[in-house]
Amino acid sequence: MLFSNENYLSTSPIHYAKSPESPKPDAGRTFRFGPRYNNDLGIKEVYTLGESSIYYSTPQTISANIENTGLTERENIPVTLTISGANAVTETIVVGGLAQLDYFTLQFPAFIPGSTGLTTIETTLQDDDDLSNNSVTWIQNVTEFECAYASASLPAKPLSVAQNESFIFQAKYHLNGTAAVSGISFYPL
């Protein structure tokens, strides 16, 4: 089924190309359509640790995936990283440009936390036609010795695994210095 990004001349409901061969929505399915904007940049993801060690995981790399979902090319895009809470830093980097539907992973300067505790990491873009995707917040717990990728906040999206399927979730951490591993946490599904 194809939809056009323009006004339809017909006032009738959705037409199917070759009824009854064309697929129709099953009972109870709902289609929701969101508008496309001329100027719409969005932050899709922020990449960093959820729990970091002040001794072994510094300096940290914080990256953000920026996407131009708008209909026009954008240039000179300021992206701001604001870190608050137990640690405080503000950095702004200007991305040269993004074509329509293009994306870019931006790496901020190294972050070196000075204190342990909860730290809020927020990446923001300037206001545009769609304000809902201009900011992503990540909670990080800075500890003395522990590292983890899971955020200290509740999950934003559910993750499920099909019954009778086996999976191994693994993580790899870059550590600075020398350390002895005294234990590994294992959580069976």
**How would you class 81 by CB atoms within 10 Å of its CB: exposed for 0-12, middle for 13-18, buried for 19 or more?**
buried
Q: Which CATH superfamily is domain 41-143 in?
A: Immunoglobulins (2.60.40.10)
Maximum Cα interatomic distance, the chain, rounded to a whole number of Å = 70
pLDDT score of 65: 93
Confidence class for position 182, pLDDT limits 50, 70, 90: confident
- The highest-confidence range among 45-54, 57-66, 75-84, by mean pLDDT, is 75-84
Query: Does the pLDDT of residue 68 top 90, yes or no?
Result: yes
pLDDT at 145: 84
Q: Write the pLDDT tens digit of every residue in 110-166.
A: 999 999 999 999 999 999 988 989 999 999 999 988 877 766 555 555 455 555 565
Residue 67 is given by DSSP the state E
Q: Which residue bears the tokens 């190309």?
A: 17
Per the CB < 8 A criterion, the answer to whether 36 and 57 are in contact is no
Q: In the chain, where are the structural domains located? A: 41-143
pLDDT at position 22 is 61
The amino acid present at 148, given as its one-letter code, is A
Which pLDDT score, from 0 to 100, does residue 183 have?
74
Which letter, b or e, does each residue of 44-72 get, where b requires 16 or more Cβ atoms within 10 Å of its Cβ? eebebbebbbbebbbebebebbbbbbbee
Could you read off the pLDDT of 69-115 as tens digits, one per residue? Answer: 999 999 999 999 999 999 999 999 999 999 998 999 999 999 999 99
Listed in sequence order, the residues at least 6 apart from 65 whose beta carbon sits closer than 8 Å to its beta carbon are: 43, 44, 45, 46, 47, 103, 104, 105, 106
Whether residue 167 has pLDDT greater than 60 = no
pLDDT at 135: 94
Taking residues 181-187, report their average pLDDT. 71
Residues constituting the chain: 189
pLDDT of residue 24: 65
Pairing of strands 63-68, 103-107: antiparallel
Statement: the pTM of the whole predicted model exceeds 0.75: no
